[in-house]
């Protein structure tokens, strides 16, 4: 039986090139989704799953991220002095109470696998969770705690998988799988990063949640740069699917809930619309505006035609 998972690692050192110029001086994980930065939703998810030791892997321009999870005394003093701002004060303090947040710097953004290897000293020889800082799982849909349960039962690694339309599989890491006796849990027999559609072994895509055995660090040390010249976490986990290698077995939990990849512009916009629509404070007014907008302003004709005021 392996040790309990207590630590979460959040890689947030990527360059975020798809969001330039917004990400020139601000990490993409700090872009707001309604009124919280994306990474706060991710830290909240880790805390809900019982992981209150969070290590964020940061790169250049990440000081706003450190400030966000730190106290802001001047701001808090100002809000504290104003009775009408108590609720706002609580919301400002929320981000500092969620977890103990540590930081490690990835000197050079050499890929997600390399970012995870930067966590080795902090994590030690225990299983740990990795949550991508721009990948949001709706809080109403359980995923991470289920993955931790599956890891406790089988040991090794557990990855989050999602069925995607076949033509989109080349955007993701892809798993070959065998079914198990448990609905929604599969045994992963192989992994390939961003395969061509006709070479993909399934339509099961890796999404940004992993529970990994510490042997991943040994596998990463032996993993050469792969696709895009980056050290790919998928390539390192693929090594652990070999029964002769320590660190396995590798299982997958198939997620059927709501997930928003905020690193992609289209999905970022959809995330904001969906999350705002569901919020008790904003939803009713926003939904009514949205329904009106969709009915009266969205042209059904040429999609390239600009919408006129």
Q: Quick one: 111 or 247, whose CB is closer to ligand UTP?
A: 111
CB of 95 to ligand UTP, least distance (A): 18
Question: CB 286 → ligand UTP: shortest distance, Å?
Answer: 28
Q: Which two tokens stand for residue 235?
A: 């390539």
Touching ligand UTP, residues 262-301 (CB under 6 A): 263
* CA atoms within a 13 Å half-sphere pointing along the CA-CB vector of 150: 29
Q: Which is nearer to ligand UTP, 133 or 247 (CB)?
A: 133
Buried b (16+ CB within 10 A) or exposed e, 7-38: bbbbbbbbebeebeeebeebbbbbbebbebbb
CB 113 within 8 A of CB 235: yes
| Site mask for ligand UTP (CB under 6 A), range 162-201, x = bound | ----------------------------------------
Nearer to ligand UTP, 39 or 157 (CB): 39
Q: Decide if 200 contacts 166 (C-beta within 8 A).
A: yes
For 266, the 3-state DSSP assignment is helix
21 lies in the binding site for ligand UTP (CB under 6 A): no
Least CB distance to ligand UTP at residue 62 (A):
10
CB of 1 to ligand UTP, least distance (A): 31
Query: Which token pair is 134?
Result: 């721009």
Smallest distance from the beta carbon of 206 to ligand UTP, in angstroms?
Answer: 11
Neighbours of 40 (CB within 10 A): 20
Footprint on residues 115-154 left by ligand UTP (CB under 6 A)? 115, 132-134
Q: Cα(34)–Cα(274) distance, rounded to whole angstroms? A: 10
Cβ closest to ligand UTP, residue 79 vs residue 131: 131
CB 163 within 8 A of CB 254: yes
Number of residues that bind ligand UTP (CB under 6 A): 20
Question: How far, in Å, CA of 247 to CA of 237, rounded?
Answer: 9
* Binding residues for ligand UTP (CB under 6 A): 11-18, 57, 106, 109-112, 114-115, 132-134, 263
């Amino acid at each position: 039986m392996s040790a309990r998972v207590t630590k979460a690692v959040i890689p947030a050192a990527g360059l975020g090139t798809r969001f330039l110029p917004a990400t020139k001086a601000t990490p993409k994980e700090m872009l707001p989704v309604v009124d919280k930065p994306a990474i706060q939703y991710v830290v909240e998810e880790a805390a809900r799953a019982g992981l209150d030791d969070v290590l964020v892997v940061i790169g250049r321009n990440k000081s706003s991220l450190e400030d966000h999870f730190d106290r802001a005394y001047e701001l808090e003093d100002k809000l504290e002095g104003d009775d009408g701002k108590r609720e706002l004060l609580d919301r400002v303090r929320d981000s500092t109470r969620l977890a103990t947040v540590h930081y490690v710097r990835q000197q050079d953004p050499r890929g997600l696998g390399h970012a995870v290897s930067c966590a080795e000293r902090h994590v030690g020889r225990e299983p740990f969770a990795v949550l991508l800082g721009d990948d949001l799982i709706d809080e109403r849909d359980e995923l991470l705690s289920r993955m931790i349960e599956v890891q406790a039962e089988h040991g090794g690694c557990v990855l989050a998988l999602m069925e995607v339309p076949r033509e989109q599989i080349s955007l993701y890491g892809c798993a070959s799988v065998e079914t198990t006796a448990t609905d929604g849990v599969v045994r992963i027999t192989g992994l390939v990063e961003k395969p061509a559609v006709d070479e993909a072994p399934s339509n099961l895509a890796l999404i940004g949640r992993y529970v990994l055995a510490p042997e991943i660090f040994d596998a990463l040390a032996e993993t050469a740069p792969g696709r895009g010249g980056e050290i790919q976490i998928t390539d390192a986990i693929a090594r652990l699917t070999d029964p002769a290698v320590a660190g396995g077995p590798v299982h997958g939990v198939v997620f059927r809930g709501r997930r928003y990849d905020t690193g992609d512009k289209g999905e970022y916009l959809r995330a904001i619309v969906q999350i705002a629509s569901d919020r008790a404070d904003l939803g009713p007014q926003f939904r009514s505006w949205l329904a009106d907008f969709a009915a009266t302003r969205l042209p059904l004709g040429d999609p390239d035609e600009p919408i006129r005021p």
